[in-house]
Amino acid sequence: SQQGEEDPQALSIQEGENATMNCSYKTSINNLQWYRQNSGRGLVHLILIRSNEREKHSGRLRVTLDTSKKSSSLLITASRAADTASYFCATDKSNYQLIWGAGTKLIIKP
């Protein structure tokens, strides 16, 4: 079963704009991670935020976590064509097993 739900399911924006994706989850977590997947292939780890953190940055990525609302957001600033991919959130309940959402498909138009 899916733990997380990403919103929106799909997002299409112009190159250079910012992209925001949201993730909601159901149970308490140890940490939340965001991954990117290109063309249905392997997933690439982007960023991890622990349950006691509220915001984290990595390059053009900004992740927030609100444990009271059981939600997280991923912001990609100054989007590029190469950012076109599916983005997934995954939650870790401290048993080393990741539970995944259904993903947001991001399309960056040149």
Partner 1 sequence: ETGVTQSPTHLIKTRGQQVTLRCSSQSGHNTVSWYQQALGQGPQFIFQYYREEENGRGNFPPRFSGLQFPNYSSELNVNALELDDSALYLCASSFRDRTYNEQFFGPGTRLTVL
User: Which residues are near partner 1 by CB under 8 A?
Assistant: 1-2, 4, 30-31, 33, 35, 40-45, 48, 50, 88, 92, 95-103
Smallest CA-to-CA distance from 37 within 75, 84, 1 is with 84
Dihedrals phi, psi of 60, to nearest 5 degrees: -85, 5
Helix%, strand%, coil% for the chain, nearest 5: 5, 55, 40
Q: How far is the CB of 44 from partner 1 (least distance, A)?
A: 7
| Identity of residue 81 | A
Of the pair 63, 101, the CB lying nearest partner 1 is at 101
Q: How far is the CB of 80 from partner 1 (least distance, A)?
A: 20
Q: How far is the CB of 24 from partner 1 (least distance, A)?
A: 13
